[in-house]
């Protein structure tokens, strides 16, 4: 692979990883500040569930960025059988985590969009 292209792809994946980390950190800070404001004002009804939902959404979005960076890194930079196997493991774990977070946020299985368990958002 051309050295210039390899360098560009390396920095592209690093930028996407940094964006994913940034989304998680900023989302956590915003969710925490919003939660604390609601608790201090006294409008705390349902604020815990909203906090968990906001926190989960920021983690999910950050994970999407991190998976995208891993895919680019594996497919474009290091296309070896070992790196593809490692990518498959990472994607599997992150997919399971995303699925679990989605259930936690929505309070229902993703394919049951029409029903609700009554959990507050």
**pLDDT (tens digit per residue) in 8-49:** 888 999 999 999 999 999 999 999 999 998 888 877 677 788
The verdict on residue 121 lying in a domain is: no
Q: Is residue 36 part of a domain?
A: yes
Give how many domains the chain has, as a whole number.
1
Q: pLDDT tens, 67-105?
A: 888 888 888 776 788 888 888 888 888 788 878 877 877
Q: What φ, ψ does residue 67 adopt, rounded to 5°? A: -65, -40
Rounded Cα distance, 70 and 67, in Å: 5
| pLDDT given at position 26 | 97
Structural domain includes residue 118: no
**Residue numbers of the domain that contains 71:** 3-106
- Residue 113 or residue 75, greater confidence: 75
**DSSP symbols for 53-116:** HHHHHHHHHHHHHHHHHHHHIIIII---HHHHHHHHHHHHHHHHHHHHHHHHHHSS-TT-TT--
Per-residue pLDDT, averaged over 50-76, amounts to 86
pLDDT of residue 114: 60
Closest-CA residue to 105 (of 114, 90, 117)? 117
């Amino acid at each position: 692979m051309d050295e210039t292209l390899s360098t560009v792809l390396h920095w592209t994946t690093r930028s996407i990883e940094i964006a994913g980390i940034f989304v998680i950190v900023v989302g956590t800070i915003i969710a925490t500040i919003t939660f604390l404001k609601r608790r201090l004002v006294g409008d705390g009804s349902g604020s815990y569930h909203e906090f968990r939902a906001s926190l989960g959404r920021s983690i999910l979005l950050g994970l999407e960025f991190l998976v995208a960076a891993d895919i680019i890194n594996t497919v474009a930079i290091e296309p070896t059988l070992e790196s593809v196997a490692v990518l498959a493991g990472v994607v599997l774990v992150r997919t399971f985590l995303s699925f679990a977070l989605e259930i936690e946020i929505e309070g229902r299985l993703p394919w049951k969009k029409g029903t609700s368990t009554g959990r507050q958002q």
